[in-house]
């Protein structure tokens, strides 16, 4: 079973535009359901059937965009009128790259799981039950969600595409009065989500942290688990590999230079089945793998059609909704895995800190990628190559690029998986990393 596409709505809108303008229409429809729990009980349980029609028109190079959640003919007519009327009032956009040409996109139908689309609140509640039962003596909180979407795209240049995807996530913590531990799983299928395993992992971290102690701030080697690495990838993608930021001089990226340790390779691949696959971007450009860092050397930037045209290259298919001002973004970033087991990673750190995840990271300067944030949900001291005990959360002020620089990576884990950065579920595939130094600038007492 598959949810229907909305190419008919795209066609209706394009017919309403007629020959008055170039146009592209994106209809995003889907079902999002999220079961949220706290204090070991479900307290918020939500779902929506959503649809959004996005129209972009170019009236002889004068652009405007408009959107609506209504799909009746009258509302679509108003949508077209609004977009055309607004376009007529603005100057010609000399950087308008034109519409995406007709080109086939990969068939990623395997990335859509009908059972996840049809998941019931009872099924999500069962996953939550399994997570909560992992530690009856602790307080559990988090969510289990299922999400399905079908995106229909058509433009007046002849491009017509449909993409479908599903995703499910369990993200939760167990808490004692003095500690917390977290776990995360994301997949295209709810059936892959193991609430028992996630609950046990979170409980183990929480129980292991009950007697956490303060540690003096300073520079320590660190073992970053996949959630922490995923947060780094988000910052590198948003502020660094973004071709618009690069063109404006705000990015750290210097393509062709060895800016990272040779053990670091980063790429974006929306077609990789290990991630959440999707076949095209918001401009209708088919997706493909794009190398960003190869063996430590920066080799790629993420372009949408606008930045690509200005740079004299082809779009890499990284346009995002509302991205005219933001630029291209790697939504499916991968950091290549290594061979180190968890024990080998701990041994590589020798004396340092194991970080489960980061919290509230904010960038101080885009060009240097200096970021401040905190550790959360499990921070542990490593001594003599073994985990010696838990420490309380620490604040850091650290350049993410600097931390991954040549000679700074001690080992790369073999535990790569979809990981939840602090900004959302499962967009990045990341392994654990052992790094030579991380600058902690404060603790619980300031």
Which residues in 26-45 contact other proteins (CB under 8 A)? 32-45
CB of 66 to other proteins, least distance (A): 4
CB of 83 to other proteins, least distance (A): 7
Shorter beta-carbon distance to other proteins: residue 47 or 311: 47
Provide the b/e sequence for 355-374 (b: ≥16 CB within 10 Å): bbbbeebebeebeebbbbbb
Q: Considering only residues 9, 83, 345, 411, which one is a binding residue for other proteins as defined by CB under 8 A? A: 83
142 within 8 A of 172, measured Cβ to Cβ: yes
Q: What is the C-alpha radius of gyration for the chain, rounded to an integer number of angstroms?
A: 23
Shorter beta-carbon distance to other proteins: residue 148 or 175: 175
DSSP lists the bridge partners of residue 396 as 373, 440
Q: Please, where are the H alpha helices in 89-172?
A: 114-117, 121-132
CB of 53 to other proteins, least distance (A): 10
Q: Name which of 46, 22, 70 is nearest 146 in CA terms.
A: 46
Q: Name which of 161, 187, 183 is nearest 174 in CA terms.
A: 183
Interaction residues for other proteins, span 164-183 (CB under 8 A)? 171-173, 175, 180, 182
- The tokens for 294 are 């190869």
Residue 52 found at the interface with other proteins (CB under 8 A): yes
Interaction residues for other proteins, span 210-269 (CB under 8 A)? 248-250
Shorter beta-carbon distance to other proteins: residue 173 or 382: 173
Query: Which part of the chain contacts other proteins (CB under 8 A), choosing from 155-163, 185-193, 225-233, 391-399?
Result: 391-399
162 within 8 A of 153, measured Cβ to Cβ: yes
Shorter beta-carbon distance to other proteins: residue 202 or 330: 202
Residue 74 found at the interface with other proteins (CB under 8 A): no
173 within 8 A of 164, measured Cβ to Cβ: no
Q: Considering only residues 258, 288, 359, 414, which one is a binding residue for other proteins as defined by CB under 8 A? A: 359
Shorter beta-carbon distance to other proteins: residue 141 or 290: 141
Q: Considering only residues 376, 378, 382, 410, which one is a binding residue for other proteins as defined by CB under 8 A? A: 376
Binding residue count for other proteins, defined by CB under 8 A:
93
Q: Phi/psi at 13 (nearest 5 deg)?
A: -65, -45
Q: Considering only residues 23, 76, 87, 403, which one is a binding residue for other proteins as defined by CB under 8 A? A: 87
Query: Which part of the chain contacts other proteins (CB under 8 A), choosing from 136-144, 263-271, 331-339, 383-391?
Result: 136-144
Interaction residues for other proteins, span 332-351 (CB under 8 A)? none
Shorter beta-carbon distance to other proteins: residue 395 or 417: 395
Interaction residues for other proteins, span 305-324 (CB under 8 A)? 322, 324
Q: Considering only residues 100, 132, 330, 390, which one is a binding residue for other proteins as defined by CB under 8 A? A: 132
Query: Which part of the chain contacts other proteins (CB under 8 A), choosing from 205-213, 224-232, 291-299, 373-381?
Result: 373-381
Q: Considering only residues 74, 91, 110, 312, which one is a binding residue for other proteins as defined by CB under 8 A? A: 91
325 within 8 A of 116, measured Cβ to Cβ: no
CB of 47 to other proteins, least distance (A): 5
What residue has token string 């430590």? 296
H or E, element range at 43: strand 41-59
Shorter beta-carbon distance to other proteins: residue 2 or 44: 44
Residue 94 found at the interface with other proteins (CB under 8 A): yes
CA atoms within 13 A on the CB side of 356: 24
Q: How far is CA 306 from CA 93, 153, 298, 311, 312, in A?
A: 11, 18, 22, 9, 10
Q: Considering only residues 6, 395, 408, 417, which one is a binding residue for other proteins as defined by CB under 8 A? A: 395
Provide the b/e sequence for 52-81 (b: ≥16 CB within 10 Å): bbbbbbbbeebbbbbbbeebeeeebeebbe
Residue 446 found at the interface with other proteins (CB under 8 A): yes
Q: Considering only residues 221, 284, 352, 373, which one is a binding residue for other proteins as defined by CB under 8 A? A: 373
Q: How many DSSP H helices and E strands does the chain contain?
A: 10, 19
If phi over 0 gives left and psi between -120 and 50 gives alpha, with beta otherwise, what is residue 245?
alpha
CB of 98 to other proteins, least distance (A): 16
Q: Name which of 440, 296, 446, 445 is nearest 371 in CA terms.
A: 440
Q: Classify residue 216 by its DSSP letter.
A: -
């Amino acid at each position: 079973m598959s949810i229907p596409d909305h190419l008919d709505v795209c066609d209706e809108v394009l017919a309403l535009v007629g020959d008055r303008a170039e146009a592209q229409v994106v209809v995003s429809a889907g079902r999002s359901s999220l079961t949220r729990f706290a204090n070991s009980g479900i307290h918020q349980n939500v779902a929506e059937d959503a649809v959004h029609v996005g129209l972009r028109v170019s009236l002889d190079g004068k652009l405007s965009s408009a959107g609506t959640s209504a799909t009746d003919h009258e509302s679509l007519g108003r949508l077209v009128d609004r977009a055309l009327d607004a376009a007529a009032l603005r100057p010609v956009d000399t950087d308008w790259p034109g519409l995406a040409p007709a080109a086939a996109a990969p068939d990623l139908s395997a990335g859509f799981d009908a059972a996840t689309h049809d998941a019931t609140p009872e099924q999500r509640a069962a996953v939550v039950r399994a997570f909560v039962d992992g530690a009856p003596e602790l307080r559990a909180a988090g969510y289990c969600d299922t999400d399905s979407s079908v995106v229909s795209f058509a433009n007046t240049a002849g491009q017509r595409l449909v993409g479908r995807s599903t995703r499910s996530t369990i993200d939760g913590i167990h808490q004692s009065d003095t500690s917390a531990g977290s776990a995360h799983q994301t997949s295209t299928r709810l059936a892959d989500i193991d609430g028992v395993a996630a609950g046990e992992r979170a409980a183990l971290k929480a129980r292991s942290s009950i007697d956490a102690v303060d540690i003096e701030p300073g520079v320590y080697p660190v073992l970053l688990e996949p959630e922490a690495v995923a947060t780094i990838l988000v910052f590198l993608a948003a502020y660094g590999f973004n071709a618009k930021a690069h063109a404006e001089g705000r990015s750290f990226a210097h393509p062709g230079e060895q800016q990272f340790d040779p053990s670091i390779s980063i790429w974006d691949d929306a077609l990789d089945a290990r991630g959440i696959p999707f076949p095209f971007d918001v401009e209708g450009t088919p997706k493909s793998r794009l190398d960003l860092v190869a063996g430590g050397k920066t080799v790629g930037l993420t372009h949408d059609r606008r930045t690509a045209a200005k740079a004299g290259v082809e779009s890499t298919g990284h346009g995002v909704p509302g991205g005219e001002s933001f630029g291209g973004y790697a939504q499916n970033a991968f950091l290549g895995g290594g061979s180190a087991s968890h024990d080998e990673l701990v041994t590589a750190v020798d004396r340092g800190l194991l970080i489960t995840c980061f919290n509230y990271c904010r960038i101080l300067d885009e060009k240097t990628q200096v970021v401040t944030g905190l550790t959360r949900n499990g921070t542990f001291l490593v001594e003599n190559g073994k985990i010696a005990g838990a420490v309380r959360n620490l604040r850091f002020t650290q350049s993410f690029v600097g931390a991954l620089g040549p000679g700074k990576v001690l080992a790369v884990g073999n535990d790569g998986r979809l990981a939840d950065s602090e900004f959302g579920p499962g967009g990045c595939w990341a392994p654990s990393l052992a790094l030579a130094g991380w600058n902690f600038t404060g603790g619980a007492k300031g």
